[in-house]
Amino acid sequence: MLYYLFEFLEKQYQFPGASAFGFLSFRAGLAILVSLLISIVFGKAIIKRLQLNQMGESIRDLGLAGQMEKAGTPTMGGIIIILATLVPVLLFAKLENIYIVLLIITTVWMGLIGFTDDYLKVKKKNKAGLAGKFKVVGQVGLGVIVGTVMYFHSTLASS
């Protein structure tokens, strides 16, 4: 989004420094910094919120050394990774790029699979979580979608 804003400012008003957003290396550097800030600043808040909501996995006592130390470790921490990936992409990437669109779709799709698995484990007290066959079907389905889009996109782009 910021890419388009600064592109507009550069074209319309020759805004000083706006042309820097045209460089991939500049946007990549900003994306790295924003991702780091999101994971550090919001990561702690998200982990505290998950702990307050008791979103930790329950551990069976098997008598293993150090095993009980993991009790209450927050699950659903993938939210931090997804936010630290998607926010910079949405801010700094050219969203009409097919590979960026595939990245967004893949991240959200796999995030939903992970969220569903964790949700079933924590809230529904289903220790197994999402059945393996559903995980595999979701992943293979995503692979087919991504593969199809990439195959036909490269075919259309070369003709």
DSSP-derived secondary structure letter, 15: -
Amino acid in the structure at residue 84: A
pLDDT by residue for the chain (159 residues), tens only, comes to: 888 888 888 888 888 888 888 899 999 999 999 999 999 999 888 888 887 776 655 555 555 666 566 565 667 778 999 999 999 999 999 998 899 999 999 999 999 999 898 888 877 777 778 899 999 999 999 999 999 999 988 765 554
As a whole number of angstroms, the distance between CA 159 and CA 155 comes to 6
Which of 93, 88, 89, 80 is CA-nearest to residue 40? 80
